[in-house]
Structure 1
Amino acid sequence: MPRWYERDQAVGGRVVRDGAADPDAWLAAAYSDTTLVTRVGALHADHAEPGNVVTSGMSTSSSTEPGLVVGMYRHAVLTDGCRTLVTTGTGYGTALACHRLGYDLVTSVDVDPYLVEAATDRLASIGHHPETAVCDLTQGPLPGEYDRIVSTVSVPTIPAAWLKALRPGGRLVTTITGTGLILYADKTADGGGSGRTSFEPASFMGARHRDDYEETVPAAVWDEAESGDGKESVSRHFLVFVPEAWSIRSMLQLSSTAISGTRTAATPSGWHILTAHGSVPTPPHPGSPPPSTKAAHAAYGTPWRTSSTASAGWANSPCMAPASPSRPTARPPSPAGTGRPLCSH
């Protein structure tokens, strides 16, 4: 990972950092337990000029926080002989899987041809030669059959292609898009799956199907929310910032059509948070809700209402257990409840 993006509040955006130009910073970043963004919109840091500032766009690829990658593999219960499919990104997670299992048991896939090519070359430079492929993980078909599937991109529901590629008794691990829920589930004899969500929260970028995510909220909507006449309310109660409240965010995502559109804006009187969350009865344009009722009327011509949170649905995934989350354990249960991992050879 020779280059990455680093947020710099002083310049109001993300700055492209070049490792070769500052080896000490490169080493510190590489060994930090944090996620390093490597792609914003369609521009990969490798293809950007060092020092260039990017002020807009969503993160579309990264090198995941090392501790989180290890946590995902721990939920997968990787053991000797398990043929495993992982997602590529920078190739860091793939390298860990190769080190643990041997590269001949690892397959790494990504929807982005450049990421696959770059990771393949970098892995080869340290002696790892896993099978790599460009494919849309959510659509399939996947390149083979596996004992483990570990996805560090989130999905709204478990793709049928995963269950088809997973061997009997195998395990999949991923996160549910828009939530802080890590899901791990084992394939059952009927071709379905059964599992649970982890006590520990985590969130990954959503799966994408092209160079960048589709625009769900037009820029004009955000501009209207920031510059238009808004309604200001004052309360003695604490304001919950939903995107950072893992439990509430996850509950709303599972029980509502859509959750939040959030943007902060600087004004002479300080920072204002423009946000809305809820559901549209019949949204003409699916996606993130506008940040104000007025903007919603302007963009979609339909009012927003507060969602009921009396009960949270757990039916977004055929592999999600309906039972209440259990207390954390020192080690995730073995696949299929056997007491030891099942691997087909």
Structure 2
Amino acid sequence: MKWQPQARRLAHEVVRPESRWHAAVANVPRHQFVPRWWEQDGDVWTLRIGPDEPEAWLKAAYSDQTLVTRVDACHADNASANDVVAGGTPTSSSTLPSLVVRMYRHAMIADSDQVLVTTGTGYGTALACVRLGGGNVTSVDVDEHLVKLAEDRLTLFGESPRMTVCDVTGPLPGEYDRIVSTVSVRPVPVSWLQALRPGGRFVTTLAGTGLILTADKTADGGAVGRIEWDRAGFMRTRHGDDYDHPADDVWKGAADEEGAATFTSRYPLLYPPDAWDVMSMLELKLPGIEYRRAQDGDTRTVWLLYPDGSWARATATGFLDSPVVHESGPRQLWSELDRIRNRLNRDGALPVYGARVTITPDGLTTLTRGSWTTTL
């Protein structure tokens, strides 16, 4: 299979030729790390098997896109040819190459740095190995199956980084100059601060947001940094075989019941994940909201579900009409969303991007920009 021209083309698309990451992207056979993946069509995930469709395999592997390799607890590598998953949640993937490189660049990695990365398919680990040498790379994942597959594929590729099964939010297997997490966290794990060497840096995203956090360790064992003027979305860390779904019970009432309060919003209907800055502000205030949506002809409905039993349902006909909102529970979810949109209307921007971040040695994380501040 002639993958090298495809890898070189991908490298030219995602990173400049003078970058030290260019050679890594151009020389890593991404298709070998993603021989099978799940492809979504509506609410259904269908298995794609690379060796059965060589042209489609090359096209997918060497496109700058994320390839989902696990839905709920269903590994693509273990699935049968005709398997489908209805309505599942992605739980592992091969991140789009440009984003992996961006996260590494945010880390400001030097040639001699000892770096801890998260595993997934092993593709990002392979890029780090080509750039730094396998002896400088440790790769971790909570999923033993993924770690074993990635280790085997890295060995075939000729790289032998340290591979460890562990929860990245818990104790880490060593000390590092850089930690690059391509899964999202909240709060910042104290173990990262403990595992970083003096002056070390970590890069991650905050769970439920599009916010990239970079921070450098300080002499007191804490860290200071900022929310980058960039954005990324990663799956949350999971601590077992699958994610918990605490909002499922909330859905029973939210689907079609009358709310304790009913009103008409002043703004057109918004699905928050389509507006990352708005979603990020909402998530910082109310972490753990689950979003759902549906469309029937011109009628669109968006739900916000919260683990404490709070919910909101907003329905609008047409794209310019303001939605009728029902909300119930101890938290006024849609009203909070409207307050954030009021601020955006008033100020023309939201304060999340570019915010200064301070982290205490016990992990307490505070974001500040101008007069705005929030503590995770």
Q: TM-score range by the shorter chain?
A: 0.7 to 0.9
Quote the sequence identity (%): 48
Alignment equivalent of 1:272, drawn from 297, 300, 305: 300
Alignment equivalent of 1:6, drawn from 17, 31, 39: 39
Distance 1:177 1:315, change over 3 A: farther
Provide Cα deviations, 1:127-182, integer angstroms capped at 9, x if missing partner: 00000000011021x11000000000000121110010000011100000111110
Shift of 1:259: 6.2
Q: Report the counterpart of residue 120 of structure 1 in structure 2.
A: 151
Corresponding residue SS for 1:152: strand
Alignment equivalent of 2:120, drawn from 89, 110, 118: 89
Q: Report the counterpart of residue 320 of structure 2 in structure 1.
A: none
Distance 1:125 1:103, change over 3 A: same
In 1, Cα distance between the equivalents of 2:326 and 2:78? 36
Distance 1:187 1:242, change over 3 A: same
Does the CA contact (< 8 Å) of 1:221 and 1:295 recur in 2?
no
1:144 aligns with 2:189: no
Distance 1:139 1:316, change over 3 A: farther
TM-score by length of 2: 0.74
In 1, Cα distance between the equivalents of 2:138 and 2:293? 40
Alignment equivalent of 1:292, drawn from 310, 313, 319: 313
1:102 aligns with 2:130: no
Shift of 1:242: 1.4
Q: CA RMSD in A?
A: 2.9
Shift of 1:315: 9.5
Does the CA contact (< 8 Å) of 1:75 and 1:184 recur in 2?
yes
Task: Identify which of structures 1 and 2 has the higher relative contact order when contacts are C-alpha pairs closer than 8 Å and 6+ apart.
Answer: 1
In 2, Cα distance between the equivalents of 1:60 and 1:184? 24
Shift of 1:232: 8.6
Shift of 1:244: 1.6
Shift of 1:58: 1.3
Corresponding residue SS for 2:64: coil
In 2, Cα distance between the equivalents of 1:259 and 1:145? 31
Does the CA contact (< 8 Å) of 2:216 and 2:225 recur in 1?
yes
Shift of 1:266: 4.2
In 2, Cα distance between the equivalents of 1:317 and 1:222? 36
Q: Report the counterpart of residue 102 of structure 2 in structure 1.
A: 71
Q: Report the counterpart of residue 18 of structure 1 in structure 2.
A: 49
Distance 1:79 1:315, change over 3 A: closer
1:257 aligns with 2:286: yes
Does the CA contact (< 8 Å) of 1:87 and 1:153 recur in 2?
yes
Distance 1:180 1:190, change over 3 A: same
Q: Report the counterpart of residue 304 of structure 1 in structure 2.
A: 332
Give the length in aligned residue pairs. Answer: 309
Shift of 1:258: 3.7
Q: Report the counterpart of residue 38 of structure 1 in structure 2.
A: 69
Shift of 1:248: 1.2
Does the CA contact (< 8 Å) of 1:157 and 1:317 recur in 2?
no
Q: Report the counterpart of residue 195 of structure 1 in structure 2.
A: 225
Given residue 318 of structure 1, which amino acid in structure 2 is its aligned partner? I
1:164 aligns with 2:194: yes
Provide Cα deviations, 1:69-105, integer angstroms capped at 9, x if missing partner: 0000000111211000000000010000000000000
Corresponding residue SS for 2:116: strand
In 1, Cα distance between the equivalents of 2:86 and 2:154? 32
In 2, Cα distance between the equivalents of 1:114 and 1:28? 26
In 1, Cα distance between the equivalents of 2:51 and 2:126? 21
Q: Report the counterpart of residue 246 of structure 2 in structure 1.
A: 216
Provide Cα deviations, 1:238-265, integer angstroms capped at 9, x if missing partner: 33321121111111222x2346432223
Corresponding residue SS for 2:278: helix
More helix by share: 2
Corresponding residue SS for 1:292: strand
Does the CA contact (< 8 Å) of 1:171 and 1:186 recur in 2?
yes
Distance 1:66 1:233, change over 3 A: same
1:153 aligns with 2:174: no
Given residue 324 of structure 1, which amino acid in structure 2 is its aligned partner? R
In 1, Cα distance between the equivalents of 2:196 and 2:242? 28
Distance 1:53 1:302, change over 3 A: same
Corresponding residue SS for 1:250: helix
Q: Report the counterpart of residue 244 of structure 1 in structure 2.
A: 274
Does the CA contact (< 8 Å) of 1:261 and 1:290 recur in 2?
no
